[in-house]
Every structure is written in C-alpha cells, then in structure tokens.
Structure 1
Amino acid sequence: MNKQGSRQQGVKGRLPFRIRAERWMPLLRRVKRLFVFAGWAAAIACIAAFGFLFYLHNQALPASSISQTSQMLDLQGNVLDTFHAGENRQSVPLQAISSHLLEATLAIEDQRFYDHLGFDMKGMARAVLVNVEHLKAKQGASTLTQQLARNLYLTHERTWKRKFKEAMYTIQLEMHYSKDEILALYLNQIYYGHGAYGAEAASQLYFGKHAKELSLAESAMLAGIPKGPKYYSPYLDMKNAKDRQKVILQTMAEQGMITQAEADGAAAEILKLQPLGSSTLDGAAPYFRDYIRYIAVDKLGIDEQLLSEGGIRIYTTLDPDAQRAAEEAVAKGIPANSEQQAALISIDPRNGYIKAMVGGRDYKSNQFNRVFAKTRQPGSSFKPILYLTALQEGAMTPVSRYKSEPTIFTYDEGRKTYAPKNYNDKYANDYIDMRQAIASSDNIYAVNTMMTVGPDKVIEMARKLGIDSPMKPVPSMALGTFPVSPFEMASAFGTIAAGGVRAEPTAILRIEDSKGEVLYQASQSPQQVVDAAHAYVLTSLMESVFDIGGTGSRVSAALKRPVAGKTGTTANDAWLVGYTPELSTAVWVGYDKGRNLTKAEAHRAAPIFAAYTENALKAVPPKIFAIPDGIVSVYIDPKSGKLASSSCADKRLETFVAGTQPTETCGDGEPAASIEEKDGATAEKSQSWWKQLKRWWTD
C-alpha cells in the first residue's frame, strides 16, 4: 500500500515523457530550421564567394601606366644620361636586385609575405591589439600586395570604397602573379624619395651603383626610406635614416636572415652617398647627349613620350675615354678667361662611330653645338679634298710643279680675275711640288690645282666624302672660302683615312624597349668612294704637315704616332683636321660673332688636336697607315720632280700610285731603285730615315 502510494505520488510529480517532448518540439524545429538556413546560407555564401573569386580571376586588372626612365649608354655600357617625365624609374628583374634588399624589405614591410594570400590575418590581429592598447593607429598591417594594389591602381584616400577596391585588386594580384612577380613589381614601383621610383633608380641615386651591387648596410638604409621618404631620407635627416636602418638590421637578425654580428657590422658601416643630383659621368658629353636625342626623335621617329616614360635604352658609340680626353684638351687649350670658343668632333674611320664630341666650352651658358655649325670657313684645311681630286682624276701627281709667286688667275671665259695671296705674302718664288705645297699651305699652288682639275670635279669629290654644304665652282673654293661644319670635315677626312671607304657617321648603335626588344639597329653599308691607292698617296703627303717646316710642326713633338692632317686659318676661324688609323678629328677655334683671331688665338687648334689624339689613344700602340696594293716609292729630285740618280745632290723618297711615278732621270747615272710597297714591313723601309727613327722610338 505504501509502496503503491509512493509510486502514484511520483507519477503525479512528473509529466509524462510524451507531454514533455511535445513542449520542446517547437524549439527543436526552430533550431533545426536555423541550422538548415545556416547551412543553406553557408552554401550560398560559398557559392557566391567562389563565383566572386571566379569572376575576379577572369577579370583583367586595370591598366596601370607605369612610366620608366629611359637610358642612354656609351660604348662601354655606362649610363651616359637618363630621360624621365617626373618619375625616375628603371625596371629590372628580381634577380637584378640584391638579395640583401629583398630580405630587408620583407623584414620591415611584410615578414609573412610568402605565407599569406594577400592579407596577413595574424598581422591584422596584432595591429588591432597594438592600436587598441595605444588608443590610436600605431601600427598598420598592409601587406606588400595591398601596397602594390594601392600604388598601381588607386589613390591614397581613406574611404570604404577605396578599401574595398584595394581588397579586390589585392586578390586579383595574388591570382594572376606569383609571389616573386609581385615582389618584383613592388620593388620596381615603390617610391624612394627625390624622384627615384624603384630599387634600381634609388640605388643609382643614393649610391651610384646597380641594385644588384647593394651591400647589406646600403640595402637596410634603402629599405627604410619608403615608409616616409621625407622623414627617412639620409639626405634630409641622417639620424632618422640611421635609426631606421638599425631597426631593420635588428629585425633581420631576429628573423634569422642575418647573424647578429652581421647586423652590428652593417649598422656601424659608414655609407658613401652620391652627391644629390650627380650623374654617372658628372654631366659628360652634354652636346653629344642633345645630338642623340635629336637623332632618336627627329631622324629615327622615336616618340617623345616613349623616350621620356618608356624605359627604352639607347646604345651609343661614345667612347668615355676619348670624350674625357676631348673635354680636357678643349678646356686646357683655351685660357679660362677667354671668350674664344672651340669645337671638336672625332670619328673612327673604320666604322664611322662618333667617339667624342665637344660643341663648345660651356654647355650651361650656351647649348649651341658648334660641331654642326655650317658657318665656318675651313680655309686651307679644305685643300686635301682638292688634291685628292687631282690625284684621282690623274691630272696631277705628288711631283706636279707650279711656281709659288704672286699670280692673277682668270676664269669664267676670261671675264673675271682672282688674285690670291699666301699667308704673310710669303712665297717660295720657285717651283714647288704637291708635298711642299701641302706642308707649307701654299695658296698659289692650290688655285693652280683648282684651275687644272676644275671646280666642278672638286665639288663632286666633296660630295662623295660626305660634305653637303653649299659650294660654288669658283677658284676661291680652293682656299676653303665656303663654310662647312667640323662634323663634315671629320667625316670627309675619315674616308681618306679608311683608304677611300666611306662609313656613314654613326652615333646610335641600337635602341631597345623596356623588355629588351630591338626598336632600331644601326646597319652600315660602307662604300668605296675613292681609290685606295690615291687615298694613301694623299695620306703620305699630309704627314708632311707635321714634319719640319710644315704648318703643324709646332705640335709634332707631342705626337708619338703617325698622323696625317691639314691646318686651316682664316681671319675668323682656325682649324686642324687630321687622322690616325683609328681616329679622324676636326678641331675648330674661333668666336661666335665672327671676331678676328689674333696670331696666338689662331694657333690653339693644333695643340688641342695633338693633346686629344695622344690622350684618346694612349692605350693604343702607334700604327702606320695601311698600305694598299698598287703603291710604289721612288727617289726623286725635289727640284726637278724627276727620278733621282746617284749624281743628284738631293734625294727624297716619294710615294706614287704605280704607273704615275716619273720615268725621266735627272743627272747622270742610273736612277735609284724603286720600292713596291705591298705590306707593312716593306712600307717601313720606304720611309725617310727620320720617320723610321721616330716610329722606332715610339714603338
């Protein structure tokens, strides 16, 4: 009874299970619906996320216009000049950047770069904690990819719209590029201060070297600048720059990238910064740089914007050693306080390469390039073109003789006269030959030659040699009365130096775009415009200009190698145009406004030529001029121009094109034996004894 009552009482105290379950069912159904909804929501979210990512993957990134600095390089590959429109940038592949700079950048900017997918969640959480702790934005968490997206495609405005776009572009960058490609883009894009964008431009600006060559200390210094170029630039605040460098080095040590000893050593290193605004060659060859830009844009059709922003590379023919020698020779050749001007242009006759160019004494005050000025009378330096015409036409030989005395010439069918004079009215008052006329620069002989060969033929020869300045077929042309440019003269003499082979003067070898693809490639088509034997005979004759009694003899002691050339002097202009086997050089001195030269001023061209030639070729052993086939040397009697016999009191070894040497002998006895010059060894024997001694001494 008690037991049964107790059971009944217990049943009364609890509801049946069925009743209790019914009460929970609505709640369970709601929970179930909630889970189902959440599942569907999650599935839809996943599908949406996948669809969004698929959409981003198939969407092209916005076009980013990244200007790159274009470069001009000399013959040795040194950077001669740069072109950029506000942003000095030189994009390079990742392997062309020092590993120290890569590690320093990752250590201070994005330590988990190779582990995250564009967003560093740990970094974000850490930044939030730090910022909450300090109650202000103390630390950021932008990854390199986020920074790259912002720099490439967005502004730096602080809006949610910009942040959303940044996230979207960050995802796309991670989808479309590998980590190394993103890092390379970043290091070529980031701003390092003072107009330098990218690691290569920054390395050149701060340290004057390629990014590949940066040391650990230099890399740590550079890596700290993008955080705040105005605050961390060593040019603006060295203490801040050094403090940040030490932070970066210490972080690298803590990350195991370097040892603590390496960090301490780099922090203590004194860095050698480039003077701000300096260039690789300290502004060398400014006239040549202007000429290159003119050729690239006006002649080759390179777009100005491409030149300024396209990252192209222009490979030029400039020889830095020759250029330094040219600038030094001009600077020392004219007193500093003088207003006299000068121009020098030097061309390799073997290929037409322009090796050096000085268009004036002070580019900063006057950018006019006198090398191309067609306003200067060449004077007697034009005479070799006249004599080459006479030799080539067969009208004269080296022993053709005219009397050096005051002479009145008639022309234009006798209707006009011309009465030239020698310098200082100095005449031989006797018959002289072509070698004597060239050495002493006899005007009477030159005009006689012009009348013999005809001015039209001389103009035709000048055109073959590359002179296109206007000329009139009159006797005075023999004395260089029609203006030509130093550029034309150097080119013309270069053709003679090359044995009559003309190579078009060349300043640009090739132009490449930022990817290394060739936009322009120079092609040479040398042409034989003058017979090699006649060109050599003229070269032999012009060597006498530097012999005793020649107009260039005052600088002969300074020349330690075979040189051929010709001086030229007018009231306003003084020249020396000459060549070795390696260089053809024209030097002009005078005044821009046509002021008359004093005697001392007129003598400055030759020393400039001599100083330049020797310094530019100081590493090149002296060489004789190559002797072509068909050359013969015979001993002649200078007074008669006939073959010299044993009884002749005076003999001179003279060079002729085979078949044009004299056949008549002066005096009694047999003529001296002729020497056929077919190679350098025979040629050496054919020279006068003092030339042999000079060459032996310099070898």
Structure 2
Amino acid sequence: MARTARPRTAAPRPRPAAPAAAPARPGPGRAAVAGSAPARAGVGRRRAWFWLRLLVLVTIWGSLALAAVLLVLVWDLPRTDLALSQTRRAGVTLEAANGAIIATSGDVHGQIVRLPALPAHLPAALLAIEDRRFYQHLGLDPIGIARAAWVNWSTGQISQGGSTLTQQLAKNLFLTPERSFRRKAQEAVMALWLEWRFSKDELLEIYLNRVYLGAGAFGMDAAARLYFGIPATRLNLWQSAVLAGLPKAPSRLNPRTAPEAAAGRAAEVLGAMVEVGTITQREATLAAESIRIPPRPSRDSGWFADWALDDLGARFPGNADLVLRTSLDLRIQAVVEQRLEALLAGPGARAGVGQGAVVVMQAETGHVRAMAGGRDYRQSQFNRATQARRQPGSAFKPFVFLTALEAGMGPGDGVADGPINLGGWRPGNGAWRSQGQITLEEALTHSVNTAAVRVLARGGGARAANATAQRFGLPGPFPRDATLALGTGEVTLLDLVAAYAPFANGGLLPEPRGLVSARADGQAVAAGRPTLLRVTTPEYAAAMRQMLESVVTRGTGRAAQPPGGRQVAGKTGTTQDFRDAWFIGFTAAPPGTGGGTLVLGVWLGNDDATPMADVRGGTLPARLFRDILETLVRPSPGAASLSR
C-alpha cells in the first residue's frame, strides 16, 4: 500500500539582527545633543553667516558714511586747477639805485626755480628741518604724527608739528590758516590728492616756489633777493639754512626785523642737516660761524618808498608784477639817517628839537637821492619832508630877491636897512645893526628883514613875488602883504629843495622824481623821463647863485661851510619864536654820489609847533648840512657799513 507523502517544511532561518536606530534629527522642539560634532558645525555655520552679513552691512554703511564725510569735506574746497594758477595781488618791488631791494608790496614772487638749478643744500636743508620722511610717506606721515604727539606730550607744550611738507603745501595752495578739525581733515584730503597728482620732485619744486617767507616774499628766489640781494641759485649753505628755517614763523624769524632769531633758527637747521647726514659737523660749524645777517639797506627809507609808490595805480595801470628801480642812493641815505639821529639825540635834544627832515636831490634831473621824513619811520610814518606844510622864514627870501632882479635891480644896488613901519607892523632885524644903506647881496647875505621888505616892494610887491614862487613850483598858500618877504607862507621841504635847483643849474626847474626805470612782468615799460622847465634866465640864476654863496662864506650860513674850501651856496630860515629852522643849500656832488649838483634841504622843529631853544637856520640845520656833506666826502666806517 502506498504511503502518503508529507509535505516538507523549510527550517526557519535565523533573522539578522535589526540595525541600530539612526539618531533622530533634531526637529522643531527637539534639542540636539550637546557637544556633538554636528551641533558644533551648525553653530559655526550660523556664526559665519552672521559675521558675513555684519561685514557686508558695515562695508555698505561705512562706505556711505565715508562718502558723506568726504562730501562734507570737499564740498567747499577750491577748484584745484584755479588754486594751482591762483590769482594774487600784483607784486611791487622797489629797488635802490644799485639794485638792492628797499621795499615790497603785494605778493612778491621771484623767478621760477627748478630743482637742478638750485644748490643741493637748499632743498636738503628744507627737508631736514620740515619733513625728513618726505620721500617715504604718501602725503600723511603716521610716524611723524606719533613722534610729534610724544614730544608735545612729554614737554607739556606744542613744540613740534606732525604736518608733512605736502600737507603744508596743501594748506598754502588751497586752504585758509583756520585752526579746526575740519580744516585739518581737508588738508589731509588735499595732501593725498597732491601726492597722487604730482611726483615728489614736482611737489618739492612747487613748495620752493610758493612757500611764504615773510615781508611779502613768496618762494625761495624772492626771499633770497629780498634778504641777501642774490638769486636763489647763488645761495651758500648758511643762507640756505636761514631761508629753510623761515616757514615755521616767517614774521617772527624775519632776518630783517629779527636777525638774531633768524640766525638761531639757521643753527637749528644746520644741526638737523647733520642728524640726517646731509652735511658733516665741521661743515655745520663753519656755516654757523659764517652767518652774517645783512642789515636793512636803510632803516628809514620807508618815507622815500611811500612817496615813490604814491599814485602807482594811475602811473602803471593793470595787474602786472612791477620791479621799480629808484634814484635812492643807499650810501647817502645811510649818512642822512645817521647824522640826523646823532644831531637830534645830542644838541637837538638839549635845544628842544623833537623832529627833523632831510631831502637830497640832484639838481639836473630832480632825482631824489635820499629822504628822511622824520626821526624814526617805525614810530611815525608821517612824512615831514613831503606832507608837512610849514613857514620857511627867510629861506623864502631868494624868490623875493629874484623878483627884484627880474624887475631891473642888480646884486650891487643899494637898499635901506633901517626900521620900517607898515600900518603898525614893524619887522625886526635881530642882531643886525642898521648901516643905512646896503646892497641887495648884503641884505640877502645877512638876512636883513627890513631890507627884504623894501626889496619886495621894489620888485612889484607880494603879487609879483607870489607869481615867482609859483613859477618855481611853490604852490603856497602865500599871504598877499609885506609879511611875505619874511617867509610867512607855507611850503614843504621837498618843494623848497626843488625850487632852489634852478639857482644851481642855470634856471631850469626839475620835477622831483623817485623812479628811474620800471619792468612789468619782466618787460621794460616807460617810467617817465626827467622834465625840466625854464623858470628864469641863466644870467639871473647865476646872480642868485653868487648871492647864495655869499650867505655861506660870510653871512648867516657860515656854519654850513665844510672844511677844504668846497664851494657851497644856500640860505637859512627861521620862523617866529624859533618854531621852524631851515637850511637849503647846494654844492657839487661828492665823488661816488652820481655827479652833477646836489641840493640838500634840512628842516628842524616839533610836530606841535612847540618853540625850540634859540634854534635858528644858521645853527643846527646849517651844522647838519655840513655834517652830511663832510661824511659824504670822507665816509666813516659806520656809514660805509650801513650803505652795504
């Protein structure tokens, strides 16, 4: 019997172990396990994203803020193209007859100088004292700023600045001297622009030609000519040191007004050059020992300068830089100043003389060779030679006597010298004793008042004498009565000196002149030529000259006669109560003073017309005339040093 087969069942297979459950991702509301690596990575990514976003925001807003700041700073900055070619006040340079600069006005610029043409020690001196890292920084010098801050903090005072030379140039070219944070920030901006726009050598060259160095001088060449009388290309080491030291304080270190301070600053510059290795210590020592700041060409030539520059705009219209050569002779000017001060400080002080004025003129041309308008220009700029109108006293008598000569009288004709009474007016004769009858020449020689009144009448009276005086350039006002014979009108010293010139040069009246030649922007322009007007005949002029020579040889002007027999002609003048004392004279020009004939006028008195103590024209004024003439003939060492 067959067996029924049972179906086979497979043996159960062992199940593999269930895999470990994967860590659950932190979802909302589920915190990550602290300290795990994925948690740290997530935090790092979030922080990086946060800082990235912050950096972008700071960059954007910082750029906007920086742009706003720059906009505020540059909003009112001048246009650089206009600033680099800036307009300025026309410069006027006044030169003496020998070319020395005696005065400047406006903005005076010298020749444009190039670095290769300058002595190497000039830019080296400037960089050593102003900006040693000039060729290393980019316009701003953090190291220099930090050093200056440390020095100022340690000393407790502002003794050092941190501005670079480029910053100084930016300030000079574009900005005002205002002290504020905003102006300083603008200076930094412009310094960076200048460094981008120009090379270092170009910046240094611009600075050397634009820096202000005192007394109206801009640039090294103008300052070299002003202070030393030479172009910048000829500066020696100590002169370069003096100029390099000026930018710190141009007024306080001005070599003309503060020579000791300028020399001290130059020594500092030389020391700085040694520190940077530009020169050796021996070179610095020798240069410091050689410093000789030249004196001003003239202490009181300001009166002449003011007069010479008067009405300049009308004579030279336009805006050109002018260089005017004048007739001023520095040697004569120095002698005049020296002798006037000596007289006022000595015998003048004892006699109550407070002021004086002197004019020296060449008779043939009218060129004024010297002018002192008072005792000290620094104390008073009022020009007593050209602005003060005073009574000339007997110094007016030559015009009265000339009128009589032209009316037909002669020097030998007689005139009464006795007392005279005109409606109660009785002029006196001082110490003169009446002789009854004297010649016209004797009347003028001894300045006899009563005779002069009679000469006035015989010459046609006050009207005729007035006409003569006006013909000789004396505008008055003059009285129209007999007192005119005694000089009761009003004149200036300059006009009176010019009016005496025809007696010296054959009857020709010159116009007083101070300018000889002129250059406008380097080109010669017309400065006018001497004008001569015939005001009397050579014969009458010769007769008057003879009479005026007699005044000096044997009359009231004897004190004016210098030793050696030099021929001098002139006339004294004294007003009532000794309020004014005059001497006007002329003689052949001493050697070295330009030749021809010099007319020299002296006035002494007081501004408030206070009487002096018996000072007459034949005393102190005549003595001053002689002293000046004597010194010019034999110049003293002091006068010679002043004239250099």
- Contact 1:207 1:274 (C-alpha < 8 Å) held by counterparts: no
Is the aligned partner of 1:554 residue 2:559?
A: yes
2:299 maps to 1:289: no
Q: Does 1:396 align with 2:429?
A: no
State the one-letter code of the partner of 1:607.
R
1:245 aligns with 2:256: no
| Secondary structure at the counterpart of residue 356 of structure 2 | strand
Asked if the contact 2:238–2:291 (Cα under 8 Å) also holds between the matched residues in 1, the reply is no
For 1:353, the equivalent position in structure 2 comes to: 367
User: Which of 492, 502, 507 does residue 500 from structure 1 map onto?
Assistant: 507
Report the Cα distance in structure 2 between the residues aligned to 1:376 and 1:583, rounded to whole angstroms. 23
CA distance in 2, matches of 1:227, 1:408: 73
Matching of residues 50-449 of structure 1 within 5 Å: 62=83, 63-65=85-87, 70-83=92-105, 90-94=109-113, 97-102=118-123, 123=136, 151-153=172-174, 184-190=205-211, 197-200=218-221, 203=224, 210-219=231-240, 222-223=243-244, 240-248=268-276, 250=277, 252=278, 264-266=282-284, 268-273=286-291, 280-281=296-297, 283-296=299-312, 300=315, 312-334=322-344, 335=347, 336=349, 339-340=352-353, 341-373=355-387, 375-393=389-407, 395-408=408-421, 419-424=426-431, 426-429=433-436, 431-449=437-455
Equivalence for 2:59: none
- Identify the match of residue 629 of structure 2 among 613, 618, 621: 613
Q: What one-letter code is carried by the residue in structure 2 that aligns with 1:583?
A: L
Trace 1:514-593 onto structure 2 (pairs within 5 A). 515-518=521-524, 521-548=527-554, 550-558=555-563, 560-571=565-576, 572-581=579-588, 582-593=597-608
Q: Cα offset for 1:149?
A: 6.3
Distance 2:223 2:281 in 1: 22
Given the alignment of the two structures, is residue 465 of structure 1 paired with residue 507 of structure 2, yes or no?
Answer: no
Q: What is the CA distance between 1:317 and its match in structure 2? A: 1.8
The 2-side partners of 1:102 and 1:448 are apart by: 76
Distance 1:292 1:406, change over 3 A: same
- 1:492 aligned counterpart, secondary structure: helix
Q: Look up the equivalent residue of 1:466 and give its one-letter code.
A: G
Aligned-residue CA RMSD in angstroms? Answer: 4.6
Identity %: 29
* Distance in 2 of aligned mates of 1:567 and 1:148: 60
Q: TM-score, with normalisation over the residues of structure 2?
A: 0.67
Shift of 1:565: 0.9
Paired residue type of 1:584: V
Once the two structures are overlaid, the 10-residue window that deviates more, 533-542 or 444-453, is 444-453
1:350 shift after superposition: 0.9
Instruction: State the SS of the aligned residue for 1:398.
Output: coil
Q: Distance in 2 between matches of 1:520 and 1:383?
A: 38
Kindly provide the amino acid, as one letter, of the partner of residue 464 in structure 2: K
Work out whether residues 246 and 267 of structure 1, in 8 Å CA contact, stay in contact via their aligned partners in 2: no
Q: Distance in 2 between matches of 1:228 and 1:597?
A: 45
Contact kept? 1:381, 1:480, Cα under 8 Å: yes
TM-score (norm 1): 0.62
CA positional deviation for 1:605? 1.2
Say which SS state the counterpart of residue 269 (structure 1) adopts: helix
Select which of 463, 466, 483 maps to 1:476: 483
Larger radius of gyration: 2
The secondary structure found in structure 2 opposite 1:342 is strand
Q: Distance in 2 between matches of 1:159 and 1:381?
A: 65
- The CA deviation string for residues 642-678 of structure 1, in whole angstroms up to 9 with x for no partner, is xxxxxxxxxxxxxxxxxxxxxxxxxxxxxxxxxxxxx
Question: 5+ unaligned residues in a row in structure 1: which ranges?
Answer: 1-58, 114-119, 254-261, 410-415, 620-699
Given that 1:563 and 1:580 are in contact with CA atoms closer than 8 Å, whether structure 2 keeps it comes out as: yes
Q: Is the 8 A contact 1:327 1:358 kept in 2?
A: yes
**Partner of residue 614, structure 2:** 599
Q: Partners of 1:129 and 1:489 in 2: how far apart?
A: 67
Could you tell me whether the CA contact under 8 Å between 2:560 and 2:626 is conserved in 1?
yes
AA of the residue aligned to 2:341: A
Q: Name the CA distance, whole Å, in 1 between partners of 2:168 and 2:517.
A: 36
Work out the CA distance in 2 between the residues paired with 1:224 and 1:348.
42
Paired residue secondary structure (1:583)? strand
What residue in structure 2 maps to residue 624 of structure 1? none
Q: Could you tell me whether the CA contact under 8 Å between 1:68 and 1:90 is conserved in 2? A: no
* Alpha-carbon displacement from aligned partner over 1:61-98 (angstroms, at most 9, x marks no partner): 644245686432222211212335xxx75432327854
SS of corresponding position for 2:629: helix
Shift of 1:104: 5.6
Query: Which residue of structure 1 aligns with residue 494 of structure 2?
Result: 487
3-state SS of 2:503 partner? helix
Unaligned runs of 5+ residues in structure 2 are 1-79, 151-162, 254-260, 589-596, 636-644
Aligned residues: 515
